[in-house]
């Protein structure tokens, strides 16, 4: 399986996340479209077999993705403080996204540790 060069791969996710971050501003955007792009990116991430990558690559991937999740969580936290009522549905969608990505990443890391434990046993 071809694995992406992580810096450029995650730069495209950062670009999407940056457009979503204006959720907390008075500016309009295509939030539905942008959130869908982010969800599609996550689907692409899930389609790769990260368990077969070398340890350094895997650790770099999880670092990048963990950072992305924290950024989205911060967007949600700020949005809850500002509370633009017309953007509530977008915030709910981001909350669901955060939950799904955190659960998936935690499960992936557990499976990776189990794989590494079996390999050293």
Label residue 121 by pLDDT band (50, 70, 90).
Answer: low
Q: How many CB atoms lie within 10 A of CB 61?
A: 21
Q: Is the pLDDT of residue 2 over 70?
A: no
57-60 contacts at long range (C-beta below 8 A, 24 or more positions apart): 57/3, 57/6, 58/112, 60/6
Q: Which residue matches tokens 């967007």?
A: 75
Q: Which residue matches tokens 């949005």?
A: 79
34-90 per-position pLDDT tens digit: 999 999 999 999 999 999 999 999 999 999 999 999 999 999 999 988 878 888 999
Helix axis angle, 55-82 to 88-120, nearest 10°: 160
Of the candidates 117, 20, 27, which has an alpha carbon nearest to the alpha carbon of residue 69?
20
Distance of CA 2 to CAs 11, 12, 47, 100, 101, Å?
18, 17, 11, 24, 22
User: Which pLDDT score, from 0 to 100, does residue 29 have?
Assistant: 84
Alpha carbons within 13 A on the beta-carbon side of 17: 21
Contact 38, 97 (CB under 8 A): yes
Label residue 25 by pLDDT band (50, 70, 90).
Answer: confident
């Amino acid at each position: 399986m071809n694995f992406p060069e992580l810096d450029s791969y995650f730069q495209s996710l950062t670009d999407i996340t940056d457009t979503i971050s204006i959720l907390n501003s008075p500016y309009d955007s295509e939030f539905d479209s942008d959130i869908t792009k982010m969800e599609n990116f996550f689907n692409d991430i899930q389609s790769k077999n990260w368990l077969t990558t070398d340890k350094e690559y895997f650790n770099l991937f999880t670092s990048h993705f963990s950072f992305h999740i924290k950024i989205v969580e911060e967007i949600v936290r700020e949005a809850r403080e500002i509370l633009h009522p017309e953007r509530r549905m977008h915030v709910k969608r981001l909350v669901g996204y955060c939950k799904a990505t955190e659960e998936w990443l935690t499960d992936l890391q557990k499976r990776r540790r189990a794989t590494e434990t079996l390999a050293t046993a």
